[in-house]
């Protein structure tokens, strides 16, 4: 069963309930953020970089520490092209299932992996997107205590179940508005289609007058 039709409803409820997370940018602006979860991947991430470079677009990547350690040269290529880097945990474990100690270690291990690959200091990498979007008030309280910034989403086309490139593109175009925070995946689940998806999606969004910014710019 696909849950894509429910995400816009869930988004509106959670946005009101947890206003200190980044759910979207300024709705009166044409600035939107294109984000990619679950990488870096040795095959899919370079394909994404090629498309982004073609259109001179800067995106944001939320990384798994284990994947950074497996593909440090890909991580460095992302960083060297000026894209924004965030955390997605060391492994793709749901944050509410982890103890406070385990969660802290997961984030810090990922920061270490990013430092080793990209020479980005831990304080430069403090945006966190929970895997599967799962969090609790306790999770958010810990983020605040540890000086991390929770980054969520406003457009989720559920590309990880691979409904087809045309379906993912259609879902994004139907939901995108000013300030949208779009979630795609360049990892094992969904990464097979992501380059083809953004090849179609980016020109159409540019034609509609949208400008692509990073998550950091949305925070501002």
CA distance 117 to 61: 14
CA distance 27 to 140: 24
In the predicted model, is pLDDT for residue 34 greater than 80? yes
Domains within the chain, CATH numbers bracketed: 31-219 (3.20.20.370)
For the chain, the farthest-separated pair of C-alpha atoms sits apart, in whole angstroms, at 47
Are 187 and 41 in contact by the 8 Å Cβ rule? The answer is yes
- Please tell me the predicted confidence (pLDDT) of residue 10: 77
Catalytic residue among 37, 38, 159, 186: 37
Give the 3-state secondary structure of residue 90: coil
Active site residue 159: no
Active site residue 37: yes
In the predicted model, is pLDDT for residue 70 greater than 80? yes
Beta strands in the chain (DSSP E): 31-39, 60-63, 84-87, 127-128, 149-150, 181-185, 211-213
Catalytic residue among 159, 185, 186, 193: 185
**Mean pLDDT on 127-139:** 95
Number of neighbours of residue 88 by Cβ within 10 angstroms: 27
In the predicted model, is pLDDT for residue 4 greater than 90? no
């Amino acid at each position: 069963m696909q849950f894509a039709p429910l995400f816009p409803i869930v988004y509106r409820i959670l946005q009101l309930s947890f206003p200190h997370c980044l759910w979207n940018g300024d709705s009166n602006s044409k600035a939107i953020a294109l984000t990619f979860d679950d990488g870096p991947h040795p095959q899919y991430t370079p394909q994404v970089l090629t498309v982004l470079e073609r259109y001179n677009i800067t995106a944001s990547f939320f990384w798994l520490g284990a994947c950074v350690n497996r593909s440090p040269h890909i991580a460095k290529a992302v960083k060297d092209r000026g894209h924004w880097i965030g955390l997605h945990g060391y492994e793709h474990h749901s944050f509410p299932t982890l103890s406070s100690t385990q969660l802290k270690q997961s984030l810090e291990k990922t920061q270490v992996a990013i430092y080793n690959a990209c020479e980005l200091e831990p304080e430069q990498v403090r945006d966190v997107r929970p895997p599967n979007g799962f969090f609790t008030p306790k999770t958010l309280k810990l983020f605040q205590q540890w000086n991390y910034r929770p980054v969520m989403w406003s457009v989720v086309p559920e590309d990880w179940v691979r409904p087809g490139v045309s379906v993912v593109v259609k879902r994004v175009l139907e939901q995108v508005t000013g300030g949208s925070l779009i979630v795609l995946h360049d990892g094992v689940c969904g990464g097979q289609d992501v380059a083809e998806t953004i090849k179609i999606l980016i020109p159409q969004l540019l034609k509609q007058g949208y400008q692509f910014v990073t998550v950091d710019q949305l925070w501002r």
